[in-house]
Copies of this chain bind each other. A is one copy, B any other.
Amino acid sequence: MNAHSVHAQITDRLRNVGLRPTRQRVDLASLMFVGEDHHMTAETLHRDASSAGVSVSLATVYNTLHQFTQVGLLREIVVDSGRSYFDTNTSEHHHFYFEDKGVLEDISSADVVLAELPDAPAGSKISRVDVIVRVTEA
């Protein structure tokens, strides 16, 4: 898979969700969606972009993360008040959170089984169930 085809794929992917494939969005998407699934914060993505020689303002990184989340390309994970994490893996799964390092890691969905879940309170519906396994250095 060469650089051109990656670019074309990303471009299509953005168009499919109704987002214009601007240079910034394509560059950021290329960083996010090439290789394995992973987690990021606005700051790590911004830093990774700089390292890759991609120039994008931090405001645009925030905008992009939220837009991608809205259209289902990313999923937001809340583990830390004060910082937002995003996950390129949008399928159902849960997380380890390494509190010492501030790092997230996926737990395969087979390893977390909820045997019982409450009904949603009257007048509401469950939008998502998050399981966070917080770990610290042994």
> Interface of A with B (CB < 8 Å)?
78-84, 96, 98-99, 105, 107-108, 110-118, 120-121, 123-138
Contacts and interface: CB of A to CB of B under 8 A. Distances in A.
A134 B130 contact: yes
Contacts of A96: 118, 120-121
5 contacts: A78-B79, A81-B81, A111-B117, A114-B114, A132-B132
Given A81-B82, A81-B84, A82-B81, A130 B132 contact: yes
Contacts of A82: 81-82
Contacts of A114: 112-115, 131
A132 B129 contact: yes
Complex copy number for this chain = 2
Contacts of A121: 96, 105, 135
Contacts of A115: 113-115
Contact of A124 (B83, B116, B130, B135): B135
B131 A135 contact: no
A81 B62 CA distance: 14
A36 to B, nearest CB: 17
